[in-house]
Amino acid sequence: MYIGRFAPTPSGPLHFGSIITALASYLDAKQNNGQWKVRIDDIDSPRIVEGAESLILKNLESLGLFWDDKISRQSENIQEYKNILEMLKGKNLTYNCNCSRKQIALSNQSDLNEPIYNNHCRGMQHPLSNKSAIRLIADYKSMQFIDRTQGPQSTDINNSAGDFIIKRSDQLYAYQLAVVIDDQLQSVTNIVRGTDLLSSTIKQYYINNLLNFPEKTYMHIPIATINNRKLSKGNGDKVNNNNFSLVLIEGLKFLKQKIEKNIEDASPREILKYAVKNWDTIPLQQIKDIELNPNQRVIADNAHT
């Protein structure tokens, strides 16, 4: 059975970019007669804003995006992250790293935003301190998977082969480890999310394999941009519109879906029913980002205009 998910960080209300991810993952799950689950990614505590979780859930309900099963939260999974980290340690697959950001940047041999670590601390047996990061020994040079819209992905394409952090120096579990465990705990089979996460997917794919979890299917959809910048908090950070039908229609236009005139004024429920039936991922192939149209910019309520 298809089980999809939407996993927002409660750092604020949904913005237009996150609505697109919610919408695409919902439509894909429902067209495949699957379940659509919601998880609140709430362990990155510096980013958490109080009250954001209930705003996000209210936004989803207003849009008619009702979830299956109970809401899950990363904060409920901490013990499981700990168990798996201990298991990896027991297999000598981790090491403590005390490198500073500056050292890592200097050793970087990649032109990507995310530096490639040169495995400097591997084998050094640093004692664990409360300032150490923990890295996973990752021999994943020949990994590859097929993304449903972005095609074949491999470490060669992403140029990202280096031991990577699974527990951060601020002692929070890293996204790469947490997301794999979270998805497994929710029995997720299909992951639909923005292309901003495409380059790190190979790491999650590697961990998923290493832990012998069933393989997941990935589809990365275009991310919303304004003036070539990713839509994010402070740059269109809330949906300033009570016309939820319009928000859905503009979301569908962004996702290059067919829209018939008579559906534009329908209720969110009717729009979603129509959109599930007509959901088509082919127009999204090989597209990494899409500039918002003027209507979509209004919905996104660009804070700078």
Nearer to Zn ion, 65 or 121 (CB): 121
Cβ 106 to Zn ion shortest distance, Å: 12
Q: How far apart are CA 119 and CA 106, in angstroms?
A: 13
- Helix, strand and coil content of the chain, in percent to the nearest 5, comes to 40, 20, 45
Cβ 97 to Zn ion shortest distance, Å: 3
Residues ≥6 apart with Cβ < 8 Å to 3: 29, 34, 35, 37, 186, 187, 188, 189, 190
Cβ 121 to Zn ion shortest distance, Å: 3
Nearer to Zn ion, 89 or 120 (CB): 120
Does residue 275 belong to the site contacting Zn ion (CB under 5 A)? no
Nearer to Zn ion, 121 or 292 (CB): 121
- Residue owning tokens 């999974």: 77
Nearer to Zn ion, 116 or 226 (CB): 116
Q: Which of residues 87-106 bind Zn ion (CB under 5 A)?
A: 97, 99
Joined tokens for residue 295: 């209507």
How many CA atoms lie less than 13 Å away from 49 in the CB half-sphere?
A: 12
Distances in Å between the alpha carbon of 94 and those of 120, 126, 181? 13, 11, 17
Q: How far apart are CA 299 and CA 246, in angstroms?
A: 9
Q: How far apart are CA 134 and CA 137, in angstroms?
A: 10
Return the range that interacts with Zn ion (CB under 5 A); candidates 115-123, 143-151, 170-178, 293-301: 115-123
Cβ 114 to Zn ion shortest distance, Å: 16
Joined tokens for residue 202: 């190979």
Cβ 274 to Zn ion shortest distance, Å: 53
Q: Which of residues 119-138 bind Zn ion (CB under 5 A)?
A: 120-121
User: Burial, 129: exposed, middle or buried (Cβ in 10 Å; 0-12, 13-18, 19+)?
Assistant: exposed
Nearer to Zn ion, 47 or 120 (CB): 120
Cβ 120 to Zn ion shortest distance, Å: 5
# residues contacting Zn ion (CB under 5 A): 4
Q: How far apart are CA 107 and CA 118, in angstroms?
A: 6
Nearer to Zn ion, 88 or 104 (CB): 104
Which residues in this chain contact Zn ion in the complex, by CB under 5 A?
97, 99, 120-121
